[in-house]
Amino acid sequence: MDKKPVLEMKNISKRFDMTQALDNVSLTLYPGEIHALVGENGAGKSTLIKTMTGIYRPDTGNILLDGQPVHIHNSQQAQSHGVAAIYQEPLVFPDLNVAENIFISHRDRGAVVSWKKMYKDAESILEKLDVKLDVKMPARGLTLAAQQAVEIAKAISLDVRVLIMDEPTASLSAHEVAQLFKVANTLREQGVAVLFISHRLEEVFKISDRISVFRDGRHISTNITGDVTHDSLIRDMVGREVGDYFAKSQAEKGEVLVSARGLGKEGVFSDINFDVRRGEVLGFAGLVGSRRTDVGLALFGIEPADAGEIIFEGEPLTMKSPEQALKCGISYLTEDRRQFGLTMPMSITSNISLPTLKRYLSGLGLVKHSREKATAEDYRKRLTIRTPSVNHEVGKLSGGNQQKVMLGKWLNAEPKLFIFDEPTRGIDVGAKAEVHHIINELAEQGLAIILISSDLPEALAMSDRILVMREGKQMGIFNREEATQEIVMTAAMGQSHLTEEISQ
């Protein structure tokens, strides 16, 4: 590039106890570019970001700003150098309005607030970003995408030169992602260097000018996006050929295990009809707000249906609670592992045994820890959970390994029906491949599987049939052979294509 770098991370190393988080890595950012940084969980991306923003200090190496060495010891110093970050969960103050959130970090605006000037300045910044927001609106009423826009506006108000976007699209709809990309492109045109971090490779190819890959704390490659292929990028990320990591084997289908007939919940969803056979993966697809997850919650008894019926192993069933679902042989892997799926301060062992704790109690009601630990060790090996010990705190694991612990927790319940709700959200491509392999194995073992996924290529490739929903209504069920992205999206957007009768 002809431009001079705005920020250079040179030969940065950082170690935590026995873990070498960064090993002599370098990264160069230029003004007016969007530079993607990708890698598996544990590759060192987060450690590098925290070093750039002053949360961590490097053990060795230098940070150069405009070619001059700088020392960044905290986030305030990072901001003073024009380095800022936005994250998957925006850090806005809900009881302050938009303008107040934008200027919350300013200490040079005087003791007396000129509200008129602050509102005018806030409107000017948002106008530069081509974002339309009421600057007097409380932040608590904003969508996630709007909150992120406020965070970006805050960075602009502090004369940002380097903006780090860490998994900014993970919780956004397709429309909100498009809006965020529009803002990112505006920043690029204004000369800001944007560091974009995402597990969604299709987004990386769409938005970035260059792509850097980290693996195991090391810098593997940096290339112009146009010179990179999907396969070569994955190979750099995981260190091996992954091939078609969405591959789905054809398991032999058994008898119908569970059926829904006219299933509904007032104001949420209605008239849902399907069968799932042993050895079958039934995908649930649809846009944000389609209520796919609500059907899963009803099947697991968390939010019971109030209309229709569930037929399990040929018998009508009124599902009232998760305890009842577990007794029947139903497991549910939630999309929100941190809030609902795992107990983060507890160990891997305790998390895996939690739903089935009665198995590990002695006659006196005491936990048989040796047996509990042996079970956890078994799942550590089976699911290749990367951890120093099964006594390790779950909250300290990478996202992919947390997902595997949650899988072990529900597999240990010995389910007949396994409901996967967004099983690969927020995990890297290597961990995705492993989760897909596990789903394949479970189907081959005769489990019935419901796969709820917003990742349409994943849903299409991993499912034997696809049920499409829109705003709580079933739009159609499609066989694997006929389901294409175009057909599924057409149905998801409101065109009914009931091309398949419910199997008998």
User: pLDDT tens across 431-448, in order?
Assistant: 788 889 899 999 999 999
Q: What pLDDT is stored for residue 108 in this prediction?
A: 60
pLDDT digits (tens, 9 = 90+) for 451-468: 999 878 888 889 999 999
Name which of 294, 277, 215 is nearest 43 in CA terms. 215
Say yes or no to pLDDT of 289 above 90.
no
C-alpha distances out from residue 34 to 30, 149, 192, 195, 229, Å: 9, 17, 9, 6, 18
Structure tokens at 77: 């110093």
Q: What pLDDT is stored for residue 503 in this prediction?
A: 40
pLDDT digits (tens, 9 = 90+) for 62-106: 999 999 999 999 888 898 899 988 887 778 898 899 999 998 877
Residue 171 pLDDT level (bands cut at 50, 70, 90): low
CATH superfamily of 7-238: P-loop containing nucleotide triphosphate hydrolases (3.40.50.300)
For the chain, the structural domain boundaries read 7-238, 253-329+417-504, 342-414
- Cα–Cα distance measured from residue 251 to residue 67, given in angstroms and rounded to the nearest whole number: 58
Name the helix (H) or strand (E) containing 42.
none
Q: What pLDDT is stored for residue 1 in this prediction?
A: 56
- Cα–Cα distance measured from residue 340 to residue 154, given in angstroms and rounded to the nearest whole number: 32
Q: Which residue has the higher pLDDT, 349 or 335?
A: 349
- Cα–Cα distance measured from residue 186 to residue 88, given in angstroms and rounded to the nearest whole number: 20
Q: Do domains 7-238 and 253-329+417-504 have the same CATH topology?
A: yes
- Cα–Cα distance measured from residue 391 to residue 436, given in angstroms and rounded to the nearest whole number: 26
- Cα–Cα distance measured from residue 484 to residue 481, given in angstroms and rounded to the nearest whole number: 8
To 10 degrees, what angle do helices 429-444 and 399-411 make? 10
- Cα–Cα distance measured from residue 96 to residue 265, given in angstroms and rounded to the nearest whole number: 36
Say yes or no to pLDDT of 245 above 60.
no
Q: What is the mean pLDDT of residues 3-8?
A: 93
pLDDT digits (tens, 9 = 90+) for 187-231: 999 999 999 998 788 899 999 999 999 988 999 999 999 999 988
pLDDT digits (tens, 9 = 90+) for 322-332: 999 999 999 99
CATH number of 253-329+417-504: 3.40.50.300
Q: What pLDDT is stored for residue 241 in this prediction?
A: 53
Q: What is the mean pLDDT of residues 170-191?
A: 83
pLDDT digits (tens, 9 = 90+) for 66-77: 999 999 998 888
Residue 109 pLDDT level (bands cut at 50, 70, 90): low
Q: What pLDDT is stored for residue 499 in this prediction?
A: 42
In the chain, % of residues over pLDDT 90: 51
Q: What is the mean pLDDT of residues 25-34?
A: 96
Predicted TM-score of the model (pTM) = 0.62
- Cα–Cα distance measured from residue 477 to residue 484, given in angstroms and rounded to the nearest whole number: 12
Weakest mean pLDDT among 40-44, 151-155, 306-310 = 40-44
Over the chain, what is the mean pLDDT? 87
Weakest mean pLDDT among 73-87, 164-178, 451-465, 478-492 = 164-178
- Return contacts of 208-212, CB within 8 angstroms, 24+ apart: 208/34, 208/35, 208/36, 209/33, 209/34, 209/35, 210/33, 210/35, 210/36, 211/35, 211/36, 211/37, 211/38, 212/27, 212/35, 212/36, 212/37, 212/38
Burial 94-109 (b: 16+ CB within 10 A, else e): eebbbbbbbbeeeeee
By the 8 A CB rule, do 465 and 501 touch? no
Burial class (CB in 10 A: 0-12, 13-18, 19+), 41: buried
Report which listed range, 87-96, 272-281, 357-366, is most confident: 272-281
Say yes or no to pLDDT of 248 above 70.
no
Q: What is the mean pLDDT of residues 486-495?
A: 78
Q: What pLDDT is stored for residue 502 in this prediction?
A: 39
